[in-house]
Amino acid sequence: MLSGVIGTEIAPAPQLFCRMPKVQRTQVGIVGAGPAGLVLSHLLYLHGIESVVLENRARQYVEERVRAGVLEQNTVDLLTAMGVGERMKREGLVHYGIELRFNGQGHRIDFHELTGGKGITIYAQAEVLKDLNNARIAAGCQVLFEVEDVSVHKLDGPQPKILYRKDGDEYELCCDFIAGCDGFHGICRPSIPAGVLTEYDRLYPFGWLGILAEAPPSAEELIYAYHERGFALLSMRTPHISRLYVQCRPDEEIDHWNDEKIWHELRTRLASTNGWKLTEGPVLQKGVTGMRSFVVEPMQYGRLYLAGDSAHIVPPTGAKGLNLAVTDVQILARGFDEYYSEGRHDLLDRYSEICLRRVWKVQRFSWWMTSMLHRFPDENPFDHRRQLAELDYVTSSHAAARTLAENYVGLPLE
């Protein structure tokens, strides 16, 4: 439960012998300028609530990091409503289906028909972050990059604090609330006292090797391929840039994969009996991503609220990580709005409970897609046959296809 008031006067820092931090004040202190932190900060601004975002990386690094690319309808609608959807509307690629490919044959899952007209938008996470940063800065708001030694304190009291350093100076940011939007490796989750959180974790015995290639996408929609040699995915960023992935070992050394080896593996796994050809081109970027399912419960402690990857990780097969981060902060922003406009904290108290119900459903979907589409090192011939039967079922049963489609385009926000 919450206690305390907004706008508490700050006593001047006593002069000791050491240099004292400069004291600042805001309503919501946000750690991390990823999708969760920036969407939250902009939503709060639109509700007239002040925030400061602290990010330890450089702006350019954050805006160039190659990550997710699939936006659910809810994410698109929210970004549009927030006034940051103009470029996404212009440059984003709207898709109304995906292909599941196995035994060399493609099967389309028609989202439009199965979900009553819903679709997804292909628009890179990096582009979303550029649009959000531009909007935050145009609004004169504070997003501080390259801050150091961020730590959070007094989380269970009425006025939590964030300590950090910037350009050699030390700062103390006094807040009403702190939002931990600092990703899986951030400092907020580990700052919660031992014994408060329960962790649910599953590591997968494989990873994804992803490339960005200067090659027009070889298909209009995404292709998820199940092959004897492992999973492969054809995705895209623009009409000129393809994004492709192959299942690999979790500890794969990227240097062991030259471009020809990657293209060979992609050609083999995505091969189709109908003469379809993979378009190839120069590889612009490549990297390996581990696969894990992870959730902490609860997602809040005192006045600290965890959102996005700091609270949960999904394996990427369902393209849910970014979208889940956005729905968390959508709920959190409503909670803060209710608190500041009506003085009530019912929603904030129930933040974790509301988020986790949806988080677990998305975890289930991401785990299911991952289990259906990857080869497992310890599997036996029975498992292989079962996976093929599952793919056959999903692509031949209207009910099963609809289940996939409604989860892929995004479950409704309650």
325 binds, among ligand DHB, ligand FAD, none (CB under 5 to 8 A by kind): ligand FAD
309 binds, among ligand FAD, ligand DHB, none (CB under 5 to 8 A by kind): ligand FAD
Binding flag, residue 131, ligand FAD (CB under 6 A): no
Binding flag, residue 233, ligand FAD (CB under 6 A): no
Contacts with ligand DHB in 241-260 (CB under 6 A)?
243
Is 393 assigned a catalytic role?
no
Binding flag, residue 70, ligand DHB (CB under 6 A): yes
Contacts with ligand FAD in 9-48 (CB under 6 A)?
31-37
Map residue 69 onto helix, strand or coil.
Answer: coil
Do residues 162 and 151 touch, judged by C-beta distance below 8 A?
Answer: yes
Is 320 assigned a catalytic role?
yes
Burial class (CB within 10 angstroms; exposed 0-12, middle 13-18, buried 19+) of 143? buried
Q: Which of 264, 256, 220 is nearest to 108 (CA)?
A: 220
Is 316 assigned a catalytic role?
yes
- Could you tell me the maximum CA-CA distance found in the chain, to the nearest angstrom? 77
Is 22 assigned a catalytic role?
no
How distant, in Å, are the alpha carbons of 60, 151, 276 from that of 66? Answer: 12, 27, 27
Choose the binding region for ligand FAD from 60-68, 221-229, 349-357, 404-412 (rule: CB under 6 A): 60-68
Binding flag, residue 187, ligand FAD (CB under 6 A): yes
Do residues 234 and 226 touch, judged by C-beta distance below 8 A?
Answer: no
Map residue 273 onto helix, strand or coil.
Answer: coil
Bridge partners of 200, per DSSP, are: 295
Q: Which of 110, 39, 115, 23 is nearest to 77 (CA)?
A: 39
The least distance separating ligand FAD from the CB of residue 375, rounded to whole angstroms, comes to 20
Binding flag, residue 57, ligand FAD (CB under 6 A): yes
The least distance separating ligand DHB from the CB of residue 408, rounded to whole angstroms, comes to 9
Binding flag, residue 316, ligand FAD (CB under 6 A): yes
85 token code pair: 């959807």
317 binds, among ligand FAD, ligand DHB, none (CB under 5 to 8 A by kind): ligand DHB
Draw the binding track, 205-224, toward ligand DHB (x: CB under 6 A; -: no contact): -----------------x--
DSSP-assigned letter for residue 408: H
DSSP 39-68: HHHHHHHHTT--EEEE-SS-HHHHHH----
Binding residues for ligand DHB, rule: CB under 6 A, are: 68-70, 222, 233, 235, 243, 316-317, 319
Binding residues for ligand FAD, rule: CB under 6 A, are: 31-37, 54-57, 62, 67-68, 125, 150, 181-183, 186-187, 289, 308-309, 316, 319-322, 325
Active site residues: 95, 224, 316, 320, 408
